[in-house]
Amino acid sequence: MGRVVVGVAVTVAVATCAVAAVVVGRRVRSRRKWKKVANVVRELEEGCDTRVGRLRQVVDAMAVEMHAGLASEGGSKLKMLLSFVDNLPNGTEKGTYYALHLGGTNFRVLRVQLSGQPSSELEHEVERLPIPQHVMTSTSEDLFDFIASSLKEFIAKEGDGSNISQYRRELGFTFSFPVKQMSVSSGILIKWTKAFSIGDVVGRDVAACLQEALTRKGLDVRVAALVNDTVGTLAVGHYHDPDTVAAIIIGTGTNACYLERIDAIIKCQGLLMTSGRMVVNMEWGNFWSSHLPRTSYDIDLDAESPNPNDQGFEKMISGMYLGDIVRRVILKMSLESDMFGPISPKLSMPFILRTPLIAAMHEDNSPDLREVARILNEIFEIPDLPLKARKIVVKVCDVVTRRAARLAAAGIVGILKKIGRDGSGGITGGRSRSDMKMRRTVVAIEGGLYSKYALFREYLREALNEILGEDIAKHVILKVTQDGSGIGAALLAASYSYSS
């Protein structure tokens, strides 16, 4: 009997040891698994480092590149394109003005009513119209006649339709394709992008093409301004607030423009502008500096993009790319460990994770991060992800978004430094920054990445305060604007109309 008891005891002990060994083994493997994931996140954080010292280096690099781009064509990664806009709207404009925005498979027609007094809400009507597929690959005459006919129908809807030829109308034309601007109301098409391919327009003045079509359709409408959408954003900002000196678009793509002194634009010496200033379109998406914190994910994304070694700044800060950077990090973590279960083929699909979805995951405040779980399941078919793994994904979203917002802030301060609005200009005799009289400085910002992503906004403002110091930063106001490509174009038509 005693032997039986001893035998049972031994068996139980062996079984217990075996179970303990399995448990310990699992824990060791689990720790190794999480350690690998933690290493991926740690390396990402180190690679995305945007401490204030580095941001100030980016600020200086941006200002230097701006100087170089203003000195000569091709002298910088920043194109620093002349807009010839030297007369921004200020709220005194009066009358009815029109805008056309051609930027893709749809185009928009707008009518804006101005009272002569600044108004926070501009009275306007807008119509969005599809462009037939065959027109996008036809001839110049077909495209611009179609646009002119649509504008004619839009105008005919005013009142009883009998006033279509009563008076000359002024139009702003936003043309979202690469153009070499020749004057405020003319520009040569460099090339088509998107789904357009109309050979006989390339190398021609697109504003003149539209003007000829308007005449053919019997419309007394003058193309008063050919507008870039970023310049349109500055026009809207300046209309509402005359202290607006720059405009930034941070959405799917990104760009910036600002008001520059004519005598600082060395590459256009001899050009006379009545105000002594001109809006410069920076095309800042192409900015590059060795001080930008670049990771292996950025390098791979760039190499696999349709435009490698191009638009480097845009690929780090704009909504088009942030979601895909996050996707690449999740794929790396999946390859390093089995925390996400079997590797989903969808993790290898570029741009499947859009930036609005990373915003939704980043801002998920539920205790169990159920929105994170839902998105990962719907997009990547990764079900039943443990809470610990969901928290890791939120951390990745945070690191990528924070870097983008802080780099955008550095870009903005670079512009302010160039025009002497960063609090550092004219300091002599040992005066401190806080002793200076800092002018109120407004930056107009348009785009969903900024306006709809609260944490992105917070990180950008936080970085602005860190770089400038709170005494200076409190004088820099960031104002959300809307529809620079539409309303902004109509406002510039008002600024450059004969009646004004």
Which residues form the catalytic set?
Answer: 108, 176, 229
Report strand pairing: 81-82 vs 94-102.
unpaired
User: Which residue pairs, CB below 8 angstroms and at least 24 apart, start in 300-308?
Assistant: 300/328, 301/325, 301/328, 304/350
Measured CA to CA in angstroms, residue 371 lies from 179, 409, 491 at distances of: 43, 29, 42
Report the 10 Å Cβ neighbour count for 317: 29
CA triple 8-14-18, angle to 5 deg? 145
Residue 261 tokens read as 């002194």
Burial class from Cβ neighbours inside 10 Å (0-12, 13-18, 19+) for residue 223 reads buried
User: What CA–CA distance (Å, rounded) separates 411 from 404?
Assistant: 11
Residue 368 tokens read as 């169990």
Q: What one-character DSSP code corresponds to residue 226? A: E
Residues present in the chain in total:
500
CA triple 250-252-254, angle to 5 deg? 40
Q: What does residue 226 show for φ and ψ, rounded to 5 degrees? A: -105, 120
User: What CA–CA distance (Å, rounded) separates 113 from 394?
Assistant: 45
Measured distance between the N- and C-terminal CA atoms of the chain, rounded to whole angstroms: 113
Q: Reduced to 3 states, what is the DSSP secondary structure of residue 351?
A: coil
User: What CA–CA distance (Å, rounded) separates 133 from 138?
Assistant: 9
* DSSP state string for 373-412: HHHHHHHH---S--HHHHHHHHHHHHHHHHHHHHHHHHHH
Report the 10 Å Cβ neighbour count for 202: 16
Per the DSSP assignment, residues forming a β-bridge with 125 are 111
